[in-house]
Amino acid sequence: MPEIDTKHLTFVDYLLSPTIMQRYDIIDGEMVMSPAPTVRHQWIIRSAFLGLESYFRANPRGIVLFAPCDIVIRRDPLRTRQPDLFIFLRGREDIGDLENLLELPVLEIAPDITIEIISKNETRRSRTEKIEDYRRIGVKECWIVSPQGQTLEVLRLSAEGMQTAGLYGVGMRVQSELLPGLELRVDELFA
Protein backbone atom coordinates (compact mmCIF):
# COMPACT_ATOMS: atom_id res chain seq x y z
CA MET A 1 0.00 0.00 0.00
CA PRO A 2 1.42 3.43 -0.92
CA GLU A 3 2.44 5.80 1.82
CA ILE A 4 -0.12 8.58 2.29
CA ASP A 5 0.92 12.21 2.66
CA THR A 6 -1.38 13.23 5.51
CA LYS A 7 -0.66 16.91 4.87
CA HIS A 8 -2.19 16.95 1.37
CA LEU A 9 -4.40 14.02 0.56
CA THR A 10 -5.29 13.52 -3.07
CA PHE A 11 -8.49 11.89 -4.25
CA VAL A 12 -6.54 8.67 -4.96
CA ASP A 13 -5.02 8.74 -1.44
CA TYR A 14 -8.54 9.20 -0.08
CA LEU A 15 -9.83 6.18 -2.02
CA LEU A 16 -6.95 4.04 -0.71
CA SER A 17 -7.32 5.19 2.90
CA PRO A 18 -8.68 2.80 5.51
CA THR A 19 -12.17 3.52 6.84
CA ILE A 20 -12.08 6.05 9.68
CA MET A 21 -15.10 6.04 11.96
CA GLN A 22 -14.23 9.37 13.60
CA ARG A 23 -15.77 12.58 12.27
CA TYR A 24 -13.56 14.65 9.99
CA ASP A 25 -13.61 16.88 6.95
CA ILE A 26 -10.87 17.13 4.35
CA ILE A 27 -10.19 20.75 3.51
CA ASP A 28 -7.91 21.33 0.52
CA GLY A 29 -6.20 17.99 1.09
CA GLU A 30 -5.78 18.37 4.86
CA MET A 31 -7.73 16.07 7.18
CA VAL A 32 -9.39 18.13 9.91
CA MET A 33 -10.56 15.92 12.76
CA SER A 34 -13.63 16.93 14.75
CA PRO A 35 -13.84 16.47 18.50
CA ALA A 36 -16.18 13.71 19.64
CA PRO A 37 -19.76 14.99 19.67
CA THR A 38 -21.48 15.64 22.98
CA VAL A 39 -24.31 13.46 24.25
CA ARG A 40 -26.75 16.34 23.58
CA HIS A 41 -25.47 16.62 19.99
CA GLN A 42 -26.05 12.90 19.43
CA TRP A 43 -29.50 13.09 21.05
CA ILE A 44 -30.53 15.86 18.65
CA ILE A 45 -29.26 13.86 15.66
CA ARG A 46 -31.21 10.83 16.89
CA SER A 47 -34.38 12.84 17.41
CA ALA A 48 -34.15 14.52 14.00
CA PHE A 49 -33.39 11.19 12.30
CA LEU A 50 -36.38 9.48 13.93
CA GLY A 51 -38.72 12.32 12.95
CA LEU A 52 -37.47 12.36 9.37
CA GLU A 53 -37.47 8.57 9.10
CA SER A 54 -41.10 8.57 10.24
CA TYR A 55 -41.91 11.15 7.55
CA PHE A 56 -40.24 9.04 4.84
CA ARG A 57 -42.02 5.86 5.97
CA ALA A 58 -45.36 7.65 5.49
CA ASN A 59 -44.15 9.51 2.35
CA PRO A 60 -41.62 7.33 0.50
CA ARG A 61 -40.08 10.33 -1.23
CA GLY A 62 -36.49 9.85 -0.13
CA ILE A 63 -34.02 8.64 2.47
CA VAL A 64 -32.22 10.22 5.41
CA LEU A 65 -28.63 9.22 6.24
CA PHE A 66 -26.23 10.28 8.98
CA ALA A 67 -22.54 10.82 9.67
CA PRO A 68 -19.93 9.63 9.46
CA CYS A 69 -20.32 9.48 5.69
CA ASP A 70 -18.20 11.60 3.35
CA ILE A 71 -19.61 13.77 0.63
CA VAL A 72 -16.94 14.77 -1.88
CA ILE A 73 -17.15 18.48 -2.57
CA ARG A 74 -14.31 18.44 -5.10
CA ARG A 75 -11.46 16.14 -6.04
CA ASP A 76 -8.63 18.65 -6.51
CA PRO A 77 -7.69 20.00 -4.11
CA LEU A 78 -9.56 17.34 -2.19
CA ARG A 79 -12.45 18.59 -0.09
CA THR A 80 -15.02 16.43 1.73
CA ARG A 81 -17.73 17.17 4.28
CA GLN A 82 -19.68 15.02 6.73
CA PRO A 83 -23.07 16.59 7.49
CA ASP A 84 -24.73 15.36 10.67
CA LEU A 85 -27.74 14.24 8.61
CA PHE A 86 -28.51 14.46 4.91
CA ILE A 87 -31.43 13.65 2.66
CA PHE A 88 -31.69 12.38 -0.90
CA LEU A 89 -35.08 12.66 -2.59
CA ARG A 90 -36.49 10.31 -5.22
CA GLY A 91 -36.89 11.31 -8.86
CA ARG A 92 -33.40 12.67 -9.47
CA GLU A 93 -31.87 11.77 -12.82
CA ASP A 94 -28.31 11.83 -11.43
CA ILE A 95 -29.14 9.05 -8.96
CA GLY A 96 -31.85 7.02 -10.62
CA ASP A 97 -33.39 4.64 -8.13
CA LEU A 98 -32.35 5.47 -4.56
CA GLU A 99 -31.20 1.89 -4.16
CA ASN A 100 -28.41 2.78 -6.63
CA LEU A 101 -27.22 5.31 -4.09
CA LEU A 102 -26.54 2.54 -1.58
CA GLU A 103 -24.11 0.89 -4.00
CA LEU A 104 -21.96 3.97 -4.63
CA PRO A 105 -18.43 3.56 -3.26
CA VAL A 106 -18.06 7.35 -2.82
CA LEU A 107 -20.72 10.07 -2.63
CA GLU A 108 -19.89 12.63 -5.29
CA ILE A 109 -23.45 13.86 -5.71
CA ALA A 110 -25.16 16.54 -3.69
CA PRO A 111 -27.84 15.62 -1.18
CA ASP A 112 -31.04 17.64 -1.45
CA ILE A 113 -30.90 18.66 2.23
CA THR A 114 -28.05 18.76 4.74
CA ILE A 115 -28.62 19.15 8.48
CA GLU A 116 -25.94 20.53 10.79
CA ILE A 117 -26.13 20.69 14.57
CA ILE A 118 -24.02 23.59 15.84
CA SER A 119 -21.15 22.40 18.04
CA LYS A 120 -19.68 24.53 20.82
CA ASN A 121 -16.23 24.51 19.19
CA GLU A 122 -17.55 25.50 15.75
CA THR A 123 -16.93 29.05 14.57
CA ARG A 124 -19.37 31.08 12.49
CA ARG A 125 -16.73 31.21 9.75
CA SER A 126 -16.28 27.42 9.60
CA ARG A 127 -20.06 26.94 9.53
CA THR A 128 -20.42 29.50 6.72
CA GLU A 129 -17.66 27.76 4.72
CA LYS A 130 -19.42 24.43 5.16
CA ILE A 131 -22.76 25.84 3.99
CA GLU A 132 -21.02 27.48 1.03
CA ASP A 133 -19.51 24.10 0.07
CA TYR A 134 -22.99 22.58 0.15
CA ARG A 135 -24.38 25.42 -1.96
CA ARG A 136 -21.60 25.03 -4.56
CA ILE A 137 -22.35 21.35 -5.15
CA GLY A 138 -26.10 21.91 -5.48
CA VAL A 139 -27.62 21.19 -2.05
CA LYS A 140 -31.04 22.89 -2.07
CA GLU A 141 -31.58 23.32 1.68
CA CYS A 142 -29.34 23.37 4.72
CA TRP A 143 -30.89 23.15 8.17
CA ILE A 144 -28.91 24.64 11.05
CA VAL A 145 -29.91 23.37 14.49
CA SER A 146 -28.86 25.45 17.49
CA PRO A 147 -28.89 23.45 20.74
CA GLN A 148 -28.21 26.61 22.73
CA GLY A 149 -30.99 28.65 21.13
CA GLN A 150 -33.26 25.62 20.67
CA THR A 151 -33.95 26.72 17.10
CA LEU A 152 -33.80 25.24 13.63
CA GLU A 153 -33.08 27.55 10.70
CA VAL A 154 -33.91 26.41 7.16
CA LEU A 155 -31.61 27.98 4.59
CA ARG A 156 -32.54 27.87 0.90
CA LEU A 157 -29.40 27.45 -1.22
CA SER A 158 -29.12 28.37 -4.89
CA ALA A 159 -26.58 29.52 -7.46
CA GLU A 160 -27.32 33.10 -6.37
CA GLY A 161 -26.50 32.44 -2.71
CA MET A 162 -28.34 31.51 0.47
CA GLN A 163 -31.37 32.94 2.18
CA THR A 164 -33.29 32.08 5.31
CA ALA A 165 -36.52 30.30 4.39
CA GLY A 166 -37.63 29.98 8.02
CA LEU A 167 -36.47 30.13 11.63
CA TYR A 168 -38.34 27.76 13.94
CA GLY A 169 -38.31 27.63 17.73
CA VAL A 170 -39.88 25.57 20.49
CA GLY A 171 -43.60 25.02 19.87
CA MET A 172 -43.20 25.34 16.09
CA ARG A 173 -43.14 22.83 13.25
CA VAL A 174 -40.33 22.85 10.70
CA GLN A 175 -41.44 23.76 7.19
CA SER A 176 -39.54 22.74 4.07
CA GLU A 177 -40.48 23.30 0.44
CA LEU A 178 -38.82 19.96 -0.31
CA LEU A 179 -40.73 17.98 2.34
CA PRO A 180 -44.43 18.90 2.08
CA GLY A 181 -46.52 17.87 5.06
CA LEU A 182 -43.52 17.48 7.37
CA GLU A 183 -44.64 17.27 11.02
CA LEU A 184 -41.23 17.68 12.72
CA ARG A 185 -41.71 19.69 15.92
CA VAL A 186 -38.69 21.66 17.11
CA ASP A 187 -39.28 20.81 20.80
CA GLU A 188 -39.03 17.09 19.93
CA LEU A 189 -35.42 17.68 18.89
CA PHE A 190 -34.46 18.98 22.32
CA ALA A 191 -36.79 16.96 24.62
The arithmetic mean of pLDDT across residues 96-105, rounded, is 79
pLDDT above 70: residue 22: no
DSSP 185: B
Per-residue pLDDT tens over the stretch 27-60: 776 777 677 788 999 999 999 999 999 999 999 9
Contact 101, 88 (CB under 8 A): yes
Per-residue pLDDT tens over the stretch 152-169: 999 999 999 999 999 999
Per-residue pLDDT tens over the stretch 58-94: 999 999 998 888 899 999 998 889 999 999 998 888 8
What pLDDT is attached to residue 5?
Answer: 44
pLDDT above 80: residue 15: no
State the Cα angle at 131 between 127 and 136, rounded to 5°: 145
What pLDDT is attached to residue 1?
Answer: 41
User: Which has more pLDDT, 28 or 108?
Assistant: 108
What pLDDT is attached to residue 4?
Answer: 46
Domain ranges in the chain?
Answer: 37-190
- What is the chain's mean pLDDT, rounded? 87
Q: Which residues are 164's β-sheet partners?
A: 155
Q: Return all residues near 104 (Cβ < 8 A) that are at least 6 apart.
A: none
CA 131 to chain centre: 9
What is 37-190's CATH number? Answer: 3.90.1570.10
